Amino acid sequence: MHIPIKRSKDNQILGGVIAGLCEHYDWNPAIGRILYVALTITPAFPGIIIYLVLLLLMEKPTEN
């Protein structure tokens, strides 16, 4: 099972998950990362677990 959103190949820091989501929705990846970190440090949002699940479910970047 995969999500039809691809991870970023060019704009990745760890796995390209947040940048891939931002590229898919035409958002700025820097702002997306800041918002994700802000949500991750809150106790109600399991950010690391969600990141790892998305890393497994998102499609790998193409080798163009």
The verdict on residue 14 lying in a domain is yes
Question: Is 52 part of any domain?
Answer: yes
pLDDT of residue 8: 87
The β-bridge partners of 58 are 3
User: Alpha-carbon torsion 13, 16, 20, 9, what sign?
Assistant: positive
Structure pTM?
0.81
Number of domains comprising the chain? 1
Q: What is the pLDDT along the chain (64 residues), one digit of tens a residue?
A: 777 888 888 888 888 899 999 999 999 999 999 999 999 999 888 988 999 999 999 988 876 6
| Domain coverage including residue 43 | 3-59
10 Å CB burial of residue 11 (0-12, 13-18, 19+) is middle
Q: Distance between CA 50 and CA 40 in Å, rounded? A: 10
Please report whether residue 7 resides in a domain.
Answer: yes
